[in-house]
Amino acid sequence: MWSFFHKLGSPPWLYSIAGTVLRYLLPLTVLALASGTVWGLLFTSPDFRQGNSYRIIYIHVPSAVVALAGYYVMAIAGAVSLIWRMKMADVAMKATAPIGAAFTFIALFTGAVWGKPTWGAWWVWDARITSMLVLLFLYLGVVALYEAYDNKEAAGKACAVLSLVGMVNIPIIYKSVDWWYSLHQPASIKFTGESTIDSSMMYPLLLMIVAFYALFTCCLLLNMRTEILRREARTQWVKKLAEGS
């Protein structure tokens, strides 16, 4: 257990193991994404109320789920780097922030595209959309803070503190936004809520969620590998690697 933990802190080991994982995970991800997309877009029946426009959930919902999970990945990586001073956790945290922001943006964008035919407006202040917007702000705050520091080691620590503060706050923000929405929302236009989803639509959605998690992991590992190379640029093993290729 400890030796594994120790290895996890070693940049060359993590770099190579991430490469190995990617070699298998990347094709699987592409496969899952492709089959989930085809299944969802072509082989499910249209929704009786929303017609074909609902099919955007196969991108919208998975990206929203992953975006939220990504924040926790970032905060936990930040906690590990603060508590055990593990540099590779710092790398993971730094690598997660832009990816999480991108997934959040995808969720918001697809939500807007979906909103146009459904609600007749690109943007409504729905509880979930508002929460996703706040999540985007939280991600962007971490990215902005990291970039503002010249000393990147301090930047990592500061972002770790910020993401931990954010992690404590996210449930509170979500609950209060939910509650705020229910306070201001006349009950008649409630679209989401207790809407059920047919299993024929559900299975491709589950597949897409798994595929998006895999995609997130791939992006994270790729980004981490880049970051490791950047930080270790002057070490022997990176120089050897650069000469070898």
The contact set with other proteins (CB under 8 A) reads 82, 85, 134, 137-138, 140-141, 144-145, 148-151, 153-155, 157-158, 161-162, 164-166, 168-169, 172-173, 175-177, 179-180, 183, 234
- Give the nearest distance from C-beta 149 to other proteins in angstroms: 6
Taking the least distance from each CB to other proteins, the nearer of 202 and 233 is 233
Decide if 71 contacts 170 (C-beta within 8 A): yes
- Give the nearest distance from C-beta 43 to other proteins in angstroms: 40
- Give the nearest distance from C-beta 123 to other proteins in angstroms: 17
Q: How many CB atoms lie within 10 A of CB 33?
A: 19
- Give the nearest distance from C-beta 1 to other proteins in angstroms: 24
Return the DSSP state at 9: T
- Give the nearest distance from C-beta 44 to other proteins in angstroms: 36
Decide if 224 contacts 14 (C-beta within 8 A): yes
CA distance 108 to 123: 9
Taking the least distance from each CB to other proteins, the nearer of 183 and 187 is 183
Taking the least distance from each CB to other proteins, the nearer of 145 and 201 is 145
Taking the least distance from each CB to other proteins, the nearer of 22 and 140 is 140
- Give the nearest distance from C-beta 106 to other proteins in angstroms: 19
Taking the least distance from each CB to other proteins, the nearer of 209 and 228 is 228
Taking the least distance from each CB to other proteins, the nearer of 158 and 222 is 158
CA distance 7 to 60: 37
Length of the chain: 245
CA torsion sign, 35 to 65 to 181 to 138? negative
Closest CA to 111 of 71, 43, 68, 53: 53
CA torsion sign, 57 to 60 to 66 to 71? negative
